[in-house]
Structure 1
Amino acid sequence: MAPATEIATIPLSAGADIEDPSSPAGKVWQSSLDTVSQQEGFQRAYYGREVENPSVVQLLVDWDSYEHHRKFIADPVYGPFAKHLMTIVDGPITMHHANFTPHPPSAALSHTTSPVTEVLTCVLPSQDESFEKNVNKFLDIVKEKAEGVKAAAQGWIIEDVEHENLGSGKKGKVFVGMIGWESLDAHMKFRETSDFKDNVHLLRKGPVAVEVHHTAFVEK
């Protein structure tokens, strides 16, 4: 069984201060992380608020395998865990799993190596090896040419995913890239270079949607 990374997007309730472990929301958050970390197959977790939308937290969890996380979801402990977490959540949580290369994706996610992470999400009608090759080519250029880039990890989401650009009732595949930067400014400066502008087309052939945001992850 291959290792897998859970990717959860969590909209927090207004005023939920999960960074303060002494606050009510902080206590719920730390308790939830403790429960996850005690499960069989848990490797490590990363979490942080989206820079562009601070009310949303991304939680990524490395598991020994996709099956280990599914086992946790099926365990009797999961119901009380989820109910407790939902006390600080405002809206539905989305959750998927990816097989990242390399695994673990720590270098691109942990704040000790990558203070901010660019999260690149590409939605396609189906899994496309030629698109994957194009993304890997683009990432090679980024790692070679960009100032301030730290590391990258990339891979396909395991589940089929719905998206409005795919059409009503249709599902497709999602390719995710995690690119660690020394700062948000470093990424913005690279976007103004010819290396970016001459090669960004590699990301645009195939997807019906491409989304980019940034998250400052802390590793548990």
Structure 2
Amino acid sequence: MLAPLTNLPSVWESYEHHMKLTQEPAYPEMIKSIAPAVSGPTDLQHVDFDEDATKALDAPATEVVVLTPKSGTAQEDFDAKIATLRESLNKEPACHVVAVGESREKKGTWFMLIGWDSIEAHMDVAAKDALKEIVKSFFAIADVDLVHTNLVKHTA
């Protein structure tokens, strides 16, 4: 299970746009201004998702999954498992989107954002036998950590 974190997803037009901001003279002060809202360690990850991740972040409940393929797992096998899971979840009315991408900072670590109508809706879907088998197959090839969160959108 993931350590408790303050989730602070930021959506950027591109990675380069964020990097440009970090070079601005006011950036250090801006980061200091949000420090009181963060009570624990930080773990900044940049991920280019293959689907519109804002659909997961805007959903009533967001599932954040971190996948680290086990040693010896072929990328093709990992990709096939993702495709099978996505196909299954996309059939579920309670699922908004399945967005997947690899961390720029930690190559070999993959993030999956799944938007749900509610955590309960996710649990109902996860209880289905077909999905249980798909999830079980993931644990055979990857270390899997997940957390649910109900994000609150803030715009400046």
Partner residue of 1:143? 90
Cα shift readout 1:29-54 (whole Å, capped 9, x = no counterpart): xxxxxxxxxxxxxxxxxxxxx9x95x
CA distance in 1, matches of 2:12, 2:42: 19
Cα offset, 1:147, TM superposition: 4.8
The alignment's TM-score, normalised by the length of structure 1, stands at 0.61
CA distance in 1, matches of 2:18, 2:70: 26
Count of residues paired in the alignment: 151
Identity over aligned residues, as a percent?
27
Asked if residue 115 in structure 1 is aligned to residue 60 in structure 2, the reply is yes
Partner residue of 1:9? none
Partner residue of 2:136? 201
Cα offset, 1:60, TM superposition: 1.5
Q: Which of 104, 108, 123 is the equivalent residue of 1:158?
A: 104
Structure 2 unaligned segments of length 5 or more: list them: none
| SS of structure 2 residue aligned to 1:62 | coil
Bigger helix share: 2
Kindly tell me: are residues 87 and 117 of structure 1, through their superposed partners in 2, closer, same or farther at Cα, counting changes over 3 Å? closer
The alignment's TM-score, normalised by the length of structure 2, stands at 0.84
Are the counterparts in 2 of residues 119 and 213 from structure 1 also a CA contact under 8 Å?
yes
Cα offset, 1:66, TM superposition: 1.2
Deviating above 3 A after TM superposition, structure 1's stretches of 4 or more consecutive aligned residues are: none
Partner residue of 2:110? 175
CA distance in 2, matches of 1:60, 1:142: 23
Structure 1 unaligned segments of length 5 or more: list them: 1-49, 161-171
**Two-structure CA RMSD over aligned residues (Å):** 2.4
For the pair shown, the structure with the greater C-alpha radius of gyration is 1
Cα offset, 1:125, TM superposition: 5.8
Are the counterparts in 2 of residues 105 and 153 from structure 1 also a CA contact under 8 Å?
yes
Are the counterparts in 2 of residues 97 and 158 from structure 1 also a CA contact under 8 Å?
yes
Bigger strand share: 1
| SS of structure 1 residue aligned to 2:6 | strand
Partner residue of 1:71? 20
CA distance in 2, matches of 1:71, 1:87: 24
